[in-house]
Amino acid sequence: STAWAEELYFEGFEENHRTSGSNSYTAAAKTYGDWTLTYADAVTSGSPLTGTAHVIMRVAKSTTNSPSLVSNELLSDNVAVTKVSWNCKGNTAQTLKVSYSTNGNTWTEKYSANLTTSKTNKSFTLDNIPGPIYLKFVVSVASSTGSNRDANIDDITIEGTALSTEETYSVTLNQP
């Protein structure tokens, strides 16, 4: 059988975001769907990059805290991942690092660059990495300032191929 590259996973945070109360950008971890956020929140405020919601990762004023967005196990072991992409924007003094893992413990950094102030689609490719896969987004800064610095992440997409799960059966017929 032939495997075709396809979208295997998408998270735009339209269904998984804060629905009440104030936005919270503290060290207390919060979970929305498949994602755990620290110094970040999934919100409908702050001009979402696309749709109605996105993640805001905040480096608070007078700090150098490192906001993170880390996934639970995504996808099954019946896939081969070839590409990860997302939309982002922020402050040019912020560095976004994106890593992947196949076990949730050992991470491989695949992307590191300063953010820009306009929405940009970023991605990295993988060489048919077998699922499951975990993703981690971390924002860092070199020094503190007198104001909050927000990085926005949205539309996380994983592409690859679904591997065949066909099973072969052998049947023996006995004639009387």
Residue 160 has pLDDT above 50, yes or no: yes
Nearest CA to 71 out of 153, 133, 148 is that of 133
**124 within 8 A of 157, measured Cβ to Cβ:** no
Single-letter amino acid, residue 110: K
**154 within 8 A of 91, measured Cβ to Cβ:** no
pTM of the complete model: 0.88
Residue that has been written with the tokens 């982002």 in this structure: 88
| Model confidence pLDDT, tens digit, residues 98-145 | 999 999 999 999 999 999 999 999 999 999 998 899 999 999 998 988
> Would you state the structure tokens that stand for residue 20, as one six-digit string?
């009440």
> Would you state the structure tokens that stand for residue 47, as one six-digit string?
């001009």
Residue 167 has pLDDT above 80, yes or no: no
| Model confidence pLDDT, tens digit, residues 148-158 | 999 999 999 99
Region of poorest pLDDT, from 22-26, 59-63, 122-126: 22-26
Band of residue 1 on the pLDDT scale cut at 50, 70, 90: very low
